[in-house]
Structure 1
Amino acid sequence: MAKRFNIRMAGVGGQGVVTGSHILSTAVINAGGESTIVPFYGSEKRMAPVESYVRVSDEAIYEIGEITFPHIIIIFHPQVITHGKSYTMPFYFGLKEDGVALINNDGPMRLHKDQARELEERRAKLYYFPATKISLEVAGMDLATNMALMGCIGAITGLTNMAGLDQAVKDRFLGKGFVVSGGTAALDSVVERKFKKKQELIEKNVAVMRAGWNYAVDHGWAAADVKRAEEPVAAANA
Protein backbone atom coordinates (compact mmCIF):
# COMPACT_ATOMS: atom_id res chain seq x y z
CA MET A 1 0.00 0.00 0.00
CA ALA A 2 1.28 3.47 -0.87
CA LYS A 3 2.45 5.68 1.94
CA ARG A 4 1.47 9.32 1.54
CA PHE A 5 1.13 12.37 3.77
CA ASN A 6 -0.20 15.84 3.06
CA ILE A 7 1.48 18.19 5.52
CA ARG A 8 0.52 21.75 6.41
CA MET A 9 3.12 23.78 8.29
CA ALA A 10 2.18 26.99 10.08
CA GLY A 11 4.41 29.40 11.94
CA VAL A 12 5.56 33.01 12.07
CA GLY A 13 8.12 34.94 10.07
CA GLY A 14 11.72 34.33 11.12
CA GLN A 15 11.28 30.67 12.12
CA GLY A 16 12.33 29.16 8.81
CA VAL A 17 9.00 27.53 7.97
CA VAL A 18 9.67 27.67 4.23
CA THR A 19 13.30 26.60 4.62
CA GLY A 20 12.23 23.65 6.76
CA SER A 21 9.62 22.56 4.25
CA HIS A 22 12.16 22.69 1.41
CA ILE A 23 14.58 20.57 3.42
CA LEU A 24 11.94 17.94 4.25
CA SER A 25 10.82 17.80 0.62
CA THR A 26 14.39 17.43 -0.63
CA ALA A 27 15.16 14.79 2.02
CA VAL A 28 12.22 12.64 0.90
CA ILE A 29 13.42 12.86 -2.70
CA ASN A 30 16.99 12.05 -1.58
CA ALA A 31 15.66 8.87 0.03
CA GLY A 32 13.90 7.78 -3.17
CA GLY A 33 10.43 9.22 -2.54
CA GLU A 34 8.36 11.95 -4.20
CA SER A 35 7.46 15.39 -2.90
CA THR A 36 5.97 18.74 -3.90
CA ILE A 37 5.98 22.00 -1.96
CA VAL A 38 4.06 25.27 -2.09
CA PRO A 39 4.96 28.08 0.37
CA PHE A 40 2.40 30.76 1.26
CA TYR A 41 3.13 34.01 3.05
CA GLY A 42 2.10 37.63 2.91
CA SER A 43 4.26 40.40 4.37
CA GLU A 44 7.83 39.16 4.73
CA LYS A 45 8.54 40.31 8.28
CA ARG A 46 9.20 38.73 11.63
CA MET A 47 6.18 37.29 13.44
CA ALA A 48 3.90 37.58 10.39
CA PRO A 49 1.91 34.40 9.57
CA VAL A 50 3.60 31.87 7.29
CA GLU A 51 2.33 28.57 5.92
CA SER A 52 3.85 25.93 3.68
CA TYR A 53 2.21 22.91 2.10
CA VAL A 54 4.24 19.74 1.53
CA ARG A 55 3.14 16.50 -0.08
CA VAL A 56 5.35 13.46 0.47
CA SER A 57 4.83 9.95 -0.87
CA ASP A 58 6.56 6.76 -1.94
CA GLU A 59 4.82 6.98 -5.33
CA ALA A 60 4.16 9.64 -7.96
CA ILE A 61 2.40 12.87 -6.87
CA TYR A 62 0.32 14.79 -9.39
CA GLU A 63 -1.25 17.47 -7.17
CA ILE A 64 0.21 20.82 -6.26
CA GLY A 65 -1.21 23.79 -4.40
CA GLU A 66 -2.75 24.54 -1.04
CA ILE A 67 -3.47 21.60 1.25
CA THR A 68 -6.97 21.92 2.67
CA PHE A 69 -7.27 18.48 4.28
CA PRO A 70 -3.88 17.53 5.75
CA HIS A 71 -2.88 14.25 7.35
CA ILE A 72 -0.34 16.16 9.45
CA ILE A 73 -0.13 19.73 10.70
CA ILE A 74 3.05 21.20 12.14
CA ILE A 75 2.76 24.22 14.42
CA PHE A 76 6.08 26.06 14.62
CA HIS A 77 4.98 28.61 17.24
CA PRO A 78 2.30 28.40 19.96
CA GLN A 79 1.01 31.85 18.91
CA VAL A 80 -0.45 30.13 15.85
CA ILE A 81 -2.88 28.60 18.35
CA THR A 82 -3.19 31.28 21.02
CA HIS A 83 -3.14 34.40 18.82
CA GLY A 84 -4.47 32.97 15.59
CA LYS A 85 -1.27 33.75 13.70
CA SER A 86 -2.02 31.51 10.75
CA TYR A 87 -3.80 31.82 7.43
CA THR A 88 -5.78 28.67 8.26
CA MET A 89 -7.93 29.00 11.35
CA PRO A 90 -8.60 27.26 13.59
CA PHE A 91 -5.13 25.76 13.44
CA TYR A 92 -6.51 22.23 12.96
CA PHE A 93 -9.00 23.14 10.21
CA GLY A 94 -9.36 20.27 7.73
CA LEU A 95 -7.22 17.82 9.70
CA LYS A 96 -8.20 14.32 8.65
CA GLU A 97 -9.46 11.77 11.16
CA ASP A 98 -6.60 10.05 13.00
CA GLY A 99 -4.34 12.87 11.83
CA VAL A 100 -1.27 14.20 13.63
CA ALA A 101 -0.68 17.66 15.09
CA LEU A 102 3.00 18.22 15.89
CA ILE A 103 3.17 21.32 18.10
CA ASN A 104 6.33 23.15 19.13
CA ASN A 105 5.78 23.57 22.86
CA ASP A 106 7.45 22.30 26.01
CA GLY A 107 4.28 20.57 27.18
CA PRO A 108 0.52 20.23 26.60
CA MET A 109 -1.31 23.50 25.94
CA ARG A 110 -4.65 24.49 27.40
CA LEU A 111 -6.97 24.51 24.41
CA HIS A 112 -10.43 26.02 24.23
CA LYS A 113 -12.98 23.38 25.20
CA ASP A 114 -14.55 23.42 21.74
CA GLN A 115 -11.17 22.90 20.10
CA ALA A 116 -10.32 20.06 22.47
CA ARG A 117 -13.69 18.43 21.77
CA GLU A 118 -13.35 18.70 17.99
CA LEU A 119 -9.82 17.29 18.04
CA GLU A 120 -11.00 14.40 20.21
CA GLU A 121 -13.87 13.71 17.79
CA ARG A 122 -11.31 13.47 14.95
CA ARG A 123 -9.14 11.16 17.07
CA ALA A 124 -6.27 13.55 16.44
CA LYS A 125 -2.87 12.66 17.88
CA LEU A 126 -1.41 15.74 19.57
CA TYR A 127 2.36 15.57 19.85
CA TYR A 128 3.84 18.36 21.95
CA PHE A 129 7.47 18.60 20.93
CA PRO A 130 10.01 21.03 22.55
CA ALA A 131 11.70 21.96 19.28
CA THR A 132 13.01 25.35 20.40
CA LYS A 133 14.32 23.90 23.66
CA ILE A 134 16.13 21.15 21.76
CA SER A 135 17.62 23.71 19.37
CA LEU A 136 18.96 25.76 22.28
CA GLU A 137 20.35 22.73 24.10
CA VAL A 138 22.01 21.09 21.10
CA ALA A 139 23.09 24.07 18.98
CA GLY A 140 23.11 26.94 21.47
CA MET A 141 20.64 28.91 19.34
CA ASP A 142 16.91 28.93 18.63
CA LEU A 143 17.37 29.34 14.87
CA ALA A 144 17.47 25.57 14.37
CA THR A 145 13.93 25.09 15.71
CA ASN A 146 12.80 24.24 12.19
CA MET A 147 15.50 21.57 11.94
CA ALA A 148 14.28 19.85 15.09
CA LEU A 149 10.75 19.78 13.67
CA MET A 150 11.89 18.41 10.30
CA GLY A 151 13.89 15.65 11.98
CA CYS A 152 10.90 14.74 14.09
CA ILE A 153 8.42 14.67 11.21
CA GLY A 154 10.91 12.75 9.06
CA ALA A 155 10.85 9.95 11.63
CA ILE A 156 7.06 10.12 12.02
CA THR A 157 6.38 9.71 8.30
CA GLY A 158 9.19 7.21 7.68
CA LEU A 159 9.56 8.48 4.11
CA THR A 160 13.15 9.66 4.50
CA ASN A 161 16.21 8.87 6.60
CA MET A 162 18.91 10.83 8.41
CA ALA A 163 21.22 10.49 5.41
CA GLY A 164 18.59 12.12 3.18
CA LEU A 165 18.02 14.90 5.72
CA ASP A 166 21.75 15.44 6.14
CA GLN A 167 22.24 15.83 2.39
CA ALA A 168 19.22 18.14 2.13
CA VAL A 169 20.77 20.50 4.69
CA LYS A 170 24.09 20.50 2.82
CA ASP A 171 22.35 21.23 -0.47
CA ARG A 172 20.40 24.08 1.12
CA PHE A 173 23.34 25.82 2.78
CA LEU A 174 26.22 25.01 0.44
CA GLY A 175 24.50 24.45 -2.86
CA LYS A 176 25.37 21.59 -5.14
CA GLY A 177 28.87 21.55 -6.57
CA PHE A 178 30.40 23.93 -4.00
CA VAL A 179 34.15 24.12 -4.69
CA VAL A 180 36.68 25.33 -2.11
CA SER A 181 39.19 26.64 -4.63
CA GLY A 182 40.07 30.07 -5.97
CA GLY A 183 42.48 31.68 -8.39
CA THR A 184 44.77 33.20 -5.76
CA ALA A 185 45.98 32.33 -2.28
CA ALA A 186 44.00 35.25 -0.83
CA LEU A 187 40.81 34.10 -2.51
CA ASP A 188 41.44 30.56 -1.36
CA SER A 189 41.70 31.80 2.22
CA VAL A 190 38.44 33.76 2.03
CA VAL A 191 36.53 30.88 0.44
CA GLU A 192 37.93 28.39 2.94
CA ARG A 193 36.85 30.56 5.90
CA LYS A 194 33.40 30.93 4.38
CA PHE A 195 33.19 27.18 3.84
CA LYS A 196 34.35 26.46 7.40
CA LYS A 197 31.72 28.78 8.84
CA LYS A 198 28.99 27.17 6.76
CA GLN A 199 30.26 23.70 7.64
CA GLU A 200 29.96 24.49 11.35
CA LEU A 201 26.43 25.78 10.78
CA ILE A 202 25.52 22.61 8.89
CA GLU A 203 26.91 20.40 11.66
CA LYS A 204 24.81 22.22 14.29
CA ASN A 205 21.66 22.02 12.19
CA VAL A 206 22.13 18.32 11.47
CA ALA A 207 22.78 17.62 15.16
CA VAL A 208 19.49 19.33 16.07
CA MET A 209 17.70 17.44 13.31
CA ARG A 210 19.08 14.15 14.62
CA ALA A 211 17.91 15.04 18.14
CA GLY A 212 14.40 15.67 16.76
CA TRP A 213 14.47 12.37 14.90
CA ASN A 214 15.52 10.47 18.03
CA TYR A 215 12.92 12.25 20.16
CA ALA A 216 10.19 10.91 17.87
CA VAL A 217 11.66 7.39 18.06
CA ASP A 218 12.09 7.47 21.84
CA HIS A 219 8.50 8.66 22.39
CA GLY A 220 6.93 6.05 20.13
CA TRP A 221 5.81 8.52 17.46
CA ALA A 222 8.00 7.23 14.63
CA ALA A 223 6.99 4.89 11.83
CA ALA A 224 7.37 1.21 12.70
CA ASP A 225 10.57 0.64 10.71
CA VAL A 226 12.35 3.81 11.86
CA LYS A 227 15.33 3.43 14.20
CA ARG A 228 17.42 5.85 16.24
CA ALA A 229 20.11 7.78 14.38
CA GLU A 230 23.19 7.60 16.57
CA GLU A 231 26.06 8.80 14.37
CA PRO A 232 26.52 11.38 11.61
CA VAL A 233 25.97 10.09 8.09
CA ALA A 234 27.67 11.11 4.88
CA ALA A 235 25.59 9.91 1.95
CA ALA A 236 21.90 10.00 1.12
CA ASN A 237 21.77 6.29 0.43
CA ALA A 238 23.71 5.20 3.55
Structure 2
Amino acid sequence: MTEKMSIRMSGLGGQGVVTAAHILGMAAYKDDLQVTVNPFFGAEKRLAPAESYVRIAQEPIYERGEILYPSLIMVFHPHVITMGKSYTMPFFDGLEAGGTIIINSASALDLSEEERDNLAKLDAQVHYVPASEVAMGVSGTHLSTNIAMLGALYRIQQRPSLDALESAMVERFGGSKFVASGSTAALDDAVKEKFAKVSQMIEKNLEVIEKAGESMFQQTH
Protein backbone atom coordinates (compact mmCIF):
# COMPACT_ATOMS: atom_id res chain seq x y z
CA MET A 1 0.00 0.00 0.00
CA THR A 2 1.15 3.54 -0.67
CA GLU A 3 1.78 5.78 2.35
CA LYS A 4 -1.85 6.90 2.25
CA MET A 5 -5.04 6.31 0.28
CA SER A 6 -8.01 8.60 -0.17
CA ILE A 7 -10.89 6.63 -1.64
CA ARG A 8 -14.13 7.91 -3.09
CA MET A 9 -16.83 5.25 -3.52
CA SER A 10 -19.68 6.16 -5.87
CA GLY A 11 -22.70 3.95 -6.39
CA LEU A 12 -26.45 3.63 -6.18
CA GLY A 13 -28.69 3.08 -3.18
CA GLY A 14 -29.00 -0.60 -2.35
CA GLN A 15 -25.50 -1.56 -3.49
CA GLY A 16 -23.92 -1.41 -0.05
CA VAL A 17 -21.57 1.51 -0.68
CA VAL A 18 -21.85 2.61 2.96
CA THR A 19 -21.35 -0.95 4.19
CA ALA A 20 -18.28 -1.42 1.98
CA ALA A 21 -16.72 1.75 3.38
CA HIS A 22 -17.39 0.62 6.94
CA ILE A 23 -15.88 -2.83 6.35
CA LEU A 24 -12.84 -1.30 4.66
CA GLY A 25 -12.37 1.16 7.50
CA MET A 26 -12.64 -1.55 10.17
CA ALA A 27 -10.16 -3.73 8.28
CA ALA A 28 -7.65 -0.90 8.01
CA TYR A 29 -7.99 -0.23 11.74
CA LYS A 30 -7.38 -3.91 12.48
CA ASP A 31 -4.17 -3.64 10.45
CA ASP A 32 -3.06 -0.83 12.79
CA LEU A 33 -3.61 1.85 10.16
CA GLN A 34 -5.22 5.23 10.70
CA VAL A 35 -8.63 5.60 9.09
CA THR A 36 -11.65 7.87 8.74
CA VAL A 37 -14.94 6.89 7.08
CA ASN A 38 -17.64 9.31 5.98
CA PRO A 39 -20.81 8.23 4.14
CA PHE A 40 -22.83 10.69 2.08
CA PHE A 41 -26.27 10.12 0.61
CA GLY A 42 -29.42 12.13 -0.03
CA ALA A 43 -32.79 10.43 -0.14
CA GLU A 44 -32.50 6.89 1.22
CA LYS A 45 -34.03 5.04 -1.70
CA ARG A 46 -32.96 2.34 -4.07
CA LEU A 47 -30.93 3.51 -7.08
CA ALA A 48 -30.43 7.04 -5.73
CA PRO A 49 -26.81 8.27 -5.81
CA ALA A 50 -24.71 7.31 -2.78
CA GLU A 51 -21.09 8.03 -1.92
CA SER A 52 -18.66 7.13 0.83
CA TYR A 53 -15.22 8.50 1.57
CA VAL A 54 -12.44 6.49 3.19
CA ARG A 55 -9.04 7.83 4.19
CA ILE A 56 -6.33 5.33 5.15
CA ALA A 57 -2.82 6.26 6.26
CA GLN A 58 0.05 5.22 8.47
CA GLU A 59 0.12 8.64 10.15
CA PRO A 60 -2.70 10.45 12.00
CA ILE A 61 -5.46 11.80 9.75
CA TYR A 62 -6.83 15.25 10.48
CA GLU A 63 -9.11 15.68 7.46
CA ARG A 64 -12.79 14.74 7.60
CA GLY A 65 -15.77 14.77 5.29
CA GLU A 66 -15.89 14.71 1.50
CA ILE A 67 -12.78 13.74 -0.44
CA LEU A 68 -12.28 16.25 -3.26
CA TYR A 69 -8.97 14.86 -4.51
CA PRO A 70 -9.06 11.06 -4.26
CA SER A 71 -6.14 8.82 -5.09
CA LEU A 72 -8.58 6.02 -5.86
CA ILE A 73 -12.16 6.04 -7.15
CA MET A 74 -14.50 3.05 -6.94
CA VAL A 75 -17.56 3.11 -9.22
CA PHE A 76 -20.09 0.55 -8.01
CA HIS A 77 -22.50 0.83 -10.97
CA PRO A 78 -21.98 1.81 -14.65
CA HIS A 79 -24.93 4.23 -14.40
CA VAL A 80 -22.77 6.44 -12.19
CA ILE A 81 -20.88 7.15 -15.41
CA THR A 82 -23.28 6.47 -18.29
CA MET A 83 -26.33 8.16 -16.76
CA GLY A 84 -24.62 10.68 -14.50
CA LYS A 85 -26.07 9.18 -11.32
CA SER A 86 -23.42 10.73 -9.13
CA TYR A 87 -22.83 13.70 -6.87
CA THR A 88 -19.48 14.16 -8.62
CA MET A 89 -19.28 14.92 -12.33
CA PRO A 90 -17.39 13.87 -14.28
CA PHE A 91 -16.90 10.66 -12.33
CA PHE A 92 -13.10 11.12 -12.23
CA ASP A 93 -13.24 14.75 -11.07
CA GLY A 94 -10.40 15.57 -8.69
CA LEU A 95 -8.51 12.30 -9.25
CA GLU A 96 -4.84 12.67 -8.39
CA ALA A 97 -2.33 12.24 -11.21
CA GLY A 98 -1.47 8.57 -11.54
CA GLY A 99 -4.57 7.64 -9.55
CA THR A 100 -6.59 4.46 -9.85
CA ILE A 101 -10.20 3.87 -10.90
CA ILE A 102 -12.11 0.62 -10.33
CA ILE A 103 -15.38 0.24 -12.25
CA ASN A 104 -18.00 -2.46 -11.77
CA SER A 105 -18.62 -3.60 -15.33
CA ALA A 106 -18.17 -6.84 -17.27
CA SER A 107 -16.81 -4.88 -20.26
CA ALA A 108 -15.02 -1.60 -20.83
CA LEU A 109 -17.45 1.33 -21.00
CA ASP A 110 -17.77 3.42 -24.14
CA LEU A 111 -16.28 6.59 -22.71
CA SER A 112 -16.30 9.78 -24.73
CA GLU A 113 -13.17 10.93 -26.49
CA GLU A 114 -12.92 13.84 -24.04
CA GLU A 115 -13.15 11.50 -21.07
CA ARG A 116 -10.48 9.21 -22.50
CA ASP A 117 -8.20 12.17 -23.22
CA ASN A 118 -8.60 13.54 -19.70
CA LEU A 119 -7.92 10.14 -18.14
CA ALA A 120 -4.80 9.81 -20.30
CA LYS A 121 -3.58 13.25 -19.17
CA LEU A 122 -4.05 12.14 -15.57
CA ASP A 123 -2.21 8.88 -16.31
CA ALA A 124 -5.14 7.20 -14.57
CA GLN A 125 -5.08 3.43 -14.16
CA VAL A 126 -8.58 2.21 -15.09
CA HIS A 127 -9.54 -1.27 -13.93
CA TYR A 128 -12.79 -3.09 -14.61
CA VAL A 129 -14.25 -5.90 -12.55
CA PRO A 130 -17.53 -7.76 -13.19
CA ALA A 131 -18.42 -7.33 -9.54
CA SER A 132 -22.16 -7.94 -9.87
CA GLU A 133 -21.65 -11.05 -11.98
CA VAL A 134 -19.02 -12.42 -9.58
CA ALA A 135 -21.29 -11.76 -6.60
CA MET A 136 -24.22 -13.54 -8.23
CA GLY A 137 -22.13 -16.44 -9.50
CA VAL A 138 -20.33 -17.15 -6.24
CA SER A 139 -22.80 -16.16 -3.51
CA GLY A 140 -26.07 -16.28 -5.43
CA THR A 141 -26.98 -12.66 -4.67
CA HIS A 142 -26.16 -9.23 -6.09
CA LEU A 143 -26.00 -8.01 -2.49
CA SER A 144 -22.37 -9.17 -2.39
CA THR A 145 -21.40 -6.75 -5.17
CA ASN A 146 -19.82 -4.44 -2.60
CA ILE A 147 -17.64 -7.29 -1.34
CA ALA A 148 -16.52 -8.01 -4.89
CA MET A 149 -15.50 -4.36 -5.22
CA LEU A 150 -13.43 -4.70 -2.05
CA GLY A 151 -11.86 -7.78 -3.62
CA ALA A 152 -10.78 -5.71 -6.60
CA LEU A 153 -9.32 -3.09 -4.28
CA TYR A 154 -7.45 -5.76 -2.34
CA ARG A 155 -6.04 -7.23 -5.56
CA ILE A 156 -4.54 -3.85 -6.49
CA GLN A 157 -3.39 -2.57 -3.09
CA GLN A 158 -2.89 -5.76 -1.05
CA ARG A 159 -4.03 -3.76 1.98
CA PRO A 160 -5.88 -3.96 4.23
CA SER A 161 -4.88 -7.58 4.66
CA LEU A 162 -7.21 -10.44 3.82
CA ASP A 163 -7.24 -11.50 7.48
CA ALA A 164 -8.29 -7.99 8.48
CA LEU A 165 -11.06 -7.92 5.86
CA GLU A 166 -12.36 -11.27 7.11
CA SER A 167 -12.29 -10.06 10.71
CA ALA A 168 -14.11 -6.86 9.74
CA MET A 169 -16.83 -8.82 7.94
CA VAL A 170 -17.29 -11.09 10.93
CA GLU A 171 -17.67 -8.05 13.16
CA ARG A 172 -20.05 -6.29 10.77
CA PHE A 173 -22.33 -9.24 10.02
CA GLY A 174 -21.83 -11.32 13.12
CA GLY A 175 -23.55 -9.24 15.75
CA SER A 176 -22.11 -5.72 15.63
CA LYS A 177 -24.57 -3.06 16.78
CA PHE A 178 -23.36 -0.55 14.16
CA VAL A 179 -26.23 1.04 12.24
CA ALA A 180 -25.35 3.65 9.59
CA SER A 181 -28.95 4.21 8.56
CA GLY A 182 -32.29 2.45 8.45
CA SER A 183 -31.91 1.31 4.86
CA THR A 184 -28.33 0.11 5.40
CA ALA A 185 -29.42 -1.97 8.41
CA ALA A 186 -32.21 -3.47 6.32
CA LEU A 187 -29.71 -4.31 3.60
CA ASP A 188 -27.47 -6.08 6.11
CA ASP A 189 -30.44 -8.15 7.30
CA ALA A 190 -31.32 -9.07 3.73
CA VAL A 191 -27.79 -10.32 3.17
CA LYS A 192 -27.86 -12.43 6.35
CA GLU A 193 -31.14 -14.07 5.34
CA LYS A 194 -29.42 -15.57 2.29
CA PHE A 195 -27.28 -17.81 4.46
CA ALA A 196 -28.01 -20.33 7.19
CA LYS A 197 -25.05 -19.15 9.21
CA VAL A 198 -22.96 -16.02 9.29
CA SER A 199 -19.86 -18.20 8.98
CA GLN A 200 -21.17 -19.55 5.68
CA MET A 201 -21.75 -16.01 4.45
CA ILE A 202 -18.23 -14.98 5.40
CA GLU A 203 -16.81 -18.02 3.59
CA LYS A 204 -18.75 -17.08 0.45
CA ASN A 205 -17.64 -13.46 0.74
CA LEU A 206 -14.00 -14.56 0.86
CA GLU A 207 -14.61 -16.53 -2.33
CA VAL A 208 -16.16 -13.42 -3.86
CA ILE A 209 -13.06 -11.40 -2.93
CA GLU A 210 -10.75 -13.97 -4.53
CA LYS A 211 -12.83 -14.39 -7.70
CA ALA A 212 -13.25 -10.64 -8.16
CA GLY A 213 -9.48 -10.16 -8.05
CA GLU A 214 -9.01 -12.88 -10.65
CA SER A 215 -11.66 -11.36 -12.94
CA MET A 216 -10.21 -7.85 -13.19
CA PHE A 217 -8.93 -6.38 -16.43
CA GLN A 218 -7.33 -3.05 -17.24
CA GLN A 219 -8.28 -0.60 -19.98
CA THR A 220 -5.65 1.28 -21.89
CA HIS A 221 -6.39 4.87 -23.01
User: Mean alpha-carbon deviation: is it higher for 79-88 or for 202-211?
Assistant: 202-211
Note the 1:1-238 alignment, pairs <5 A: 3-175=3-175, 196-215=196-215
Shift of 1:213: 4.0
- Closer, same or farther: CA 196–137 of 1 in aligned 2, 3 Å: closer
Q: Distance in 2 between matches of 1:204 and 1:55?
A: 27
Shift of 1:176: 5.2
**Amino acid paired to 1:165:** L
| Partner SS, residue 166 of structure 1 | helix
Q: Distance in 1 between matches of 2:215 and 2:24?
A: 17
| Partner SS, residue 143 of structure 2 | coil
Report if aligned partners of 2:68, 2:94 keep a CA contact under 8 Å in 1.
Answer: yes
- Closer, same or farther: CA 38–176 of 1 in aligned 2, 3 Å: closer
Q: So what's the TM-score if we normalise by structure 2?
A: 0.85
Q: Distance in 2 between matches of 1:14 and 1:6?
A: 23
Shift of 1:212: 2.7
**Amino acid paired to 1:119:** L
- Two-structure CA RMSD over aligned residues (Å): 2.3
| Partner SS, residue 212 of structure 1 | helix
Q: Whose radius of gyration is greater, 1 or 2?
A: 1
Identity of aligned residues (%): 42
Q: So what's the TM-score if we normalise by structure 1?
A: 0.79
Shift of 1:161: 1.0
Shift of 1:157: 2.4
Provide, for residues 169-208 of structure 1, a one-character-per-residue CA deviation record: whole Å limited to 9, x for no partner. Answer: 000001359xxxxxxxxxxxxxxx9x94333222222221
Report if aligned partners of 2:10, 2:76 keep a CA contact under 8 Å in 1.
Answer: yes
| Partner SS, residue 153 of structure 1 | helix
Q: Distance in 1 between matches of 2:215 and 2:133?
A: 12
Report if aligned partners of 1:169, 1:206 keep a CA contact under 8 Å in 2.
Answer: no
**Amino acid paired to 2:67:** I
Structure 2 gaps of 5+ residues are 178-192
Q: Distance in 2 between matches of 1:2 and 1:61?
A: 15
